[in-house]
Amino acid sequence: MRYLFEDYALDTDRRELRRGADVVPTTPQVFDLLDFLIRNRERVVSKDDLVIAIWQGRTVSNAALTTRLNAARSAIGDSGEKQRFIKTLPRKGVRFVGAVQDTNRPTGTAALSDSHAESPETALALPDKPSIAVLPFENMSGDPEQEYFADGMVEEITTALSRFKWLFVIARNSSFTFKGKVVDVKEVGRRLGVRYVLEGSVRKASGKVRITGQLIDAMTGAHIWADRFERELTDVFALQDEVAVAVVSVIQPKLLQTEITMATRRRPENLTAYDYYLRAMPQYYLTTGEGLAEALRLARRALELDPRFGLAASLAGRCHMLNVLFGYAVDPQFECKEAIRLVRLALSLDDSDPDTLARASVVSAYMAGDCEGAIEMADRAVALNPNSFIASASRGWVYKIAGLSDEAVRSWERAMRMSPVDPQLHMAFLGMAMAYIEVRRFDESIVAAKKALRQTPPLRDLTAASRLPSLISDVTLRRARRRRVYLRSIPPQYRCGSPGAEHTRRNELRRS
């Protein structure tokens, strides 16, 4: 696409801004800003629109936004005083007011006469991670009070989803521009620049509220998930929270699984860092030697493509830890050090990501023997995203390692409630089986161990398949029979010679 205005040409295919025959140097954000303003020139663009389109919804100061606008003006020979092309409308936003000729449109078609809703050129590019918009739920009961309830619930769901930093979630104000309108999800996806759309309805009848929801692929129109929730209408705010948690706990793992499936079907030459990360996840879930080796290879490839990809670094660190824990490591000392190095790298890149904090907390507890620091990280991960299975499950392992088994069990129970079909559910049951032994609840330990065996995903070969079941059954049954602590799964920090190893060993022997 080429946009011509005065003696300038903006070529979106080549990502070049030219004045006559000369290329005008522009930074990527300034180019994207000009592109977005020109494509949306028939309307006033708000600050929120710019933040979503250019910065993918990240927090941006007014000063940073003003700096980019000034740079865009300077690139096309404009200024804040002249405002020949980019006009600022106080308290409303900005608009590109220059006359533009679109060279890719049919001859004689005026660029300014096109409708924003109908022009395919106004479609926003998809961000480099899964993106979703939660549309206002339709009030099917005719009761105006339910309108407020439905709107509040949509806000709760939007807020809960936005805590997952691997998701790009459209802000409430943008989604609510479609309120009361009959919409085509494909058009919503184009206008908001999202891959997925969540829509639903609310109906009140006989003191109950029935909420239906469906998750749709905005690119194809295909339905990914649909469900119905029915609750007693008592405390409205508590009901909003409950339904929001129920919806998020279902669609979050469904979104991740859909993204993983798409990544594994893409052509290898089109893979990006995030695709490699997604392809690593199912291998990591297998918890076999081969699976972890492949997950490590893919995670490291993602890091090579994007050295600032913190999630990939934390996943690689977790894989090294599991190699030590499950006895796959040829050189446990090396893998221990690599696990610590990689999670520290991940934290240095982003120490506010819940999943990164969660993975780092377990590695810190197991590999470095730093239970105090690990508890702090695990608690912070759960506080940042109470709806994350990874955060709650990791907190369980950290508290179990620290000897606080009752609190560990509560964390795993919460994790299971958050994601009842999670691919890592077997590991949570395994942790519960071990924690129950610590508090001498042997019957419950055996029950949890059997559930772990039933939840274990299909493994590639009998040798690998025998590792996890034996780990569960040996620890559980031997301790139950002997009525004392029998440490069959040696904590990795013992192998790594950490300073806290001897102290931890003495505490466990004392409890036995």
DSSP letter for each residue of 284-310:
HHH-SHHHHHHHHHHHHHHHHH-TT-H
- 288 vs 145 pLDDT, higher one: 288
DSSP-assigned letters across all residues of 329-348: -SSHHHHHHHHHHHHHHHHH
Phi, psi for residue 225 in degrees, rounded to 5? -155, 145
Residues in the chain, total: 512
Tell me the average pLDDT across 213-223: 85
pLDDT of residue 177: 80
Pair 382, 407: CB distance under 8 Å: no
Apex CA 67: angle with CA 66 and CA 73, to 5°?
90
Strand partners, 133: 197
Q: What is the mean pLDDT of residues 221-242?
A: 77
Euclidean distance between CA atoms 458 and 465, whole angstroms: 8
CB neighbour list of residue 23: distance below 8 Å, 6 or more residues apart: 16, 17
Measured between alpha carbons, how far is 36 from 10 in angstroms, rounded to an integer? 11
Q: What is the mean pLDDT of residues 226-236?
A: 77
Q: Which residues contact 440 (CB under 8 A, 6 or more apart)?
A: 483
Q: 214: which strand partners? A: 199, 226
Q: Could you give the domains of the chain?
A: 2-121 (1.10.10.10), 131-263 (3.40.50.10610), 268-511 (1.25.40.10)
pLDDT, tens only, 269-300 = 556 788 888 889 888 988 889 999 999 999 99
> Quick check: 488 pLDDT over 50?
no
108-117, 170-179, 473-482: range with lowest mean pLDDT: 108-117
Q: Give the pairing of strands 138-139 and 168-169.
A: unpaired
How many percent of the chain have pLDDT more than 90? 18
3-class DSSP state for residue 326?
Answer: coil
- pLDDT at res. 235: 67
Tokens of 438: 């610590």
**Mean pLDDT value of segment 105-129:** 46
> What DSSP letter does each residue of 44-104 carry, written as one string?
PBPHHHHHHHHHTT----HHHHHHHHHHHHHHTT--TTT-SSEEEETTTEEEE-S--EETT
> What DSSP designation does 182 have?
-
Q: How far is CA 344 from CA 297, 339, 349, 367, in A?
A: 19, 9, 9, 12
User: Which whole number is the average pLDDT over 247-268?
Assistant: 71
Nearest to 312 by CA among 341, 335, 278, 288: 278
pLDDT band at 360 (very low <50, low <70, confident <90, very high): very high
- 391/477 Cα distance (integer angstroms): 29
Compare 483 and 131 and report the one with higher pLDDT. 131
Q: Looking at per-residue confidence, does 207 or 200 come out higher?
A: 200
Mean pLDDT, range 64-81, rounded to an integer: 84
pLDDT bin (cut points 50, 70, 90) of residue 400 is very high
Region 417-441: mean pLDDT is 83
* Cβ(169)–Cβ(135) below 8 Å: no
> CA 486 from chain center: how many Å?
38
Give the list of residues 6+ apart from residue 11 with CB closer than 8 angstroms, or none: 1, 2, 17, 18
Q: 77 or 250, which is more confident?
A: 77
**Exposed/middle/buried for residue 4 (C-beta within 10 Å: 0-12, 13-18, 19+):** middle
Write the pLDDT tens digit of every residue in 168-183. 888 777 788 888 777 7
Determine the 3-state secondary structure of 512 from DSSP.
coil
Report the chain's mean pLDDT, rounded to a whole number: 78
Rounded distance between C-alpha atoms, residue 81 and residue 84, angstroms:
9
120-134, 285-299, 415-429 — which is least confidently predicted? 120-134
